[in-house]
Amino acid sequence: MKSKGRILIVDDKPINISILCALLEPEFTLETAGNGEECLEKCRRFEPDLVLLDIVMPGINGYEVCHRIKSSPVGGFTQVILVSGRASPEERLQGYESQADDYIVKPFDHDELLWKVRVQFRLRDAHARLFKLYGQIEANNAELEQRVAERTAEVTAVQDLVVFSLAKLADSRDPDTGEHLVRIRAYSQILAKQLSRKGPYVDEIDDRFLNDLYRASPLHDIGKVGIPDAILQKPGRLTNCEFELMKQHVIIGAEALEKGLKQSSAAQFLQMAVDVTRYHHERFDGTGYCAGLSGCQIPLSARIVALADVYDALTSKRTYKPAFQLDTAWEIIVEASGSHFDPAIVDGFRVCYDEFLQFASQDVAEDLQVQKEIACLVGA
């Protein structure tokens, strides 16, 4: 059975309170107060659904009390009917302005008052039902969003892994590069994050860009699958002819990924992967390969990976070269600002160089081991 509605009756005259009590007692649970302060106090303790509120009382008057009830945190759930001998239109309007839900003029018809009270309870129930419904809708939405986020995270993790494993596979014949994919991915992220904070590319680099770059950067050399071992693993300098063949890795890789692009819904990520793969050996001054693009014709993602790639090549041992001192690598990069590299990206590199050093000094093998374990788990 539904519990009785709770009404607080407020009047400074005991006789008025008695009349209202007699009228309402059969249907409602009642509490009374003799002035404004007491009313506010009982609102907190008794938590009435409805307050029948006299206006002219010693202390705080009914208008002010009503206003305070309605402004309190639970005020939206407390209905207020002003009950007053003040009958002029101005006085009644003032009552509505102080947010009363209804206004009854004394002397009142008993049945009418009873019905007006019941109407307020109907309204209040309707509010409560709506409120509950909104709560349920919000809870449902939150749960849905949570599930979508979880699923998305799962799918993304698996995709990351598959993509990375693919890149790793393509990289596996290149004996010296070791953990260079992990480093290039990290360097590219560090650079891109720096560029998202300061400089001309702040508006171009959002979370989506960063996520796509995280996955796309390890793919930059995937075209090396098409380069013969004799060239890829040659201990000494490449001949011109061999280097011409080596240059083809950007085209082989980009074309392989473009085939996927036509069939896939992950278009934005794959487009970036194609850009990075095809254009990571372009140079800012237009003297790179294979397209010979210059400046901002080269996609930003590729300009970022270009620097990360060369920095990694310089600081690592290759079959054809020893690892350079860090200072030397830094100088080569900075001196190539405007020729090989975008000057704005080199500026970013100067700022976040410490983060490069920090990453390079930590144990990448551990990171790789984790990736391998996950790869086994998902069968990738």
**Cis peptide upstream of residue 107 (ω within 30 degrees of 0):** yes
Provide the mask over 236-265, with x wherever binding to ligand C2E is found by CB under 6 A and - wherever it is not: -xx-------x-------------------
Q: Which of 136, 319, 339, 358 binds ligand C2E (CB under 6 A)?
A: 319
The verdict on 308 binding ligand C2E (CB under 6 A) reads no
Q: Are 186 and 304 in contact (CB under 8 A)?
A: no
- Chain residues 286-325 in contact with Fe ion, contact rule CB under 5 A: none
Which of 53/254 has CB closer to Fe ion?
A: 254
Please work out the total of residues on this chain that contact Fe ion, with binding judged by CB under 5 A. 1
Site for Fe ion in 217-256 (CB under 5 A): 221
Q: Which of 83, 281, 348, 371 is the binder for ligand C2E (CB under 6 A)?
A: 281
- Residues 126-145: x where in contact with ligand SIN by CB under 6 A, - otherwise, as a string: --------------------
Residues paired with residue 321 on neighbouring β-strands, in sequence order:
318
Q: Would you state the structure tokens that stand for residue 248, as one six-digit string?
A: 């083809």
Does residue 251 belong to the site contacting ligand SIN (CB under 6 A)? no
**Residue 305 or 352 having the CB closest to ligand SIN:** 305
Cβ(257)–Cβ(274) below 8 Å? yes
Applying CB under 6 A, does 193 fall inside the site for ligand C2E?
no
Give φ, ψ of 341 to 5 degrees: -115, 155
Q: Residue 7: which of 89, 98, 120 has the closest Cα?
A: 120
State the binding partner of 275 from ligand C2E, ligand SIN, Fe ion, none, CB within 5 to 8 A by kind. none
228 binds ligand SIN (CB under 6 A): no
Shortest distance (Å) from residue 247 CB to ligand SIN? 9
Contact map string, positions 60 to 99, toward ligand SIN, x by CB under 6 A:
------------------------xxx-------------
- Under the criterion CB under 6 A, does residue 310 sit at the interface with ligand C2E? yes
State the nearest-atom distance from the C-beta of 220 to Fe ion, in Å.
6
- CB of residue 313 to Fe ion, shortest distance in Å: 9
What string of DSSP letters covers 24-62? HTTTSEEEEESSHHHHHHHHHHH--SEEEE-SS-SSS-H
SS3 285: coil
Q: Give ∠ CA 110-115-119 in degrees, rounded to 5.
A: 150
The CA distance from 336 to 354, in Å, is 19
| Surface-to-core class of residue 215, CB atoms within 10 Å of its CB (0-12 exposed, 13-18 middle, 19+ buried) | buried
Q: Under DSSP, is residue 295 helix (H, G, I), strand (E, B) or coil?
A: helix
Q: Which stretches of the chain bind ligand C2E, using CB under 6 A?
A: 234, 237-238, 246, 281, 309-310, 313-314, 318-321, 332
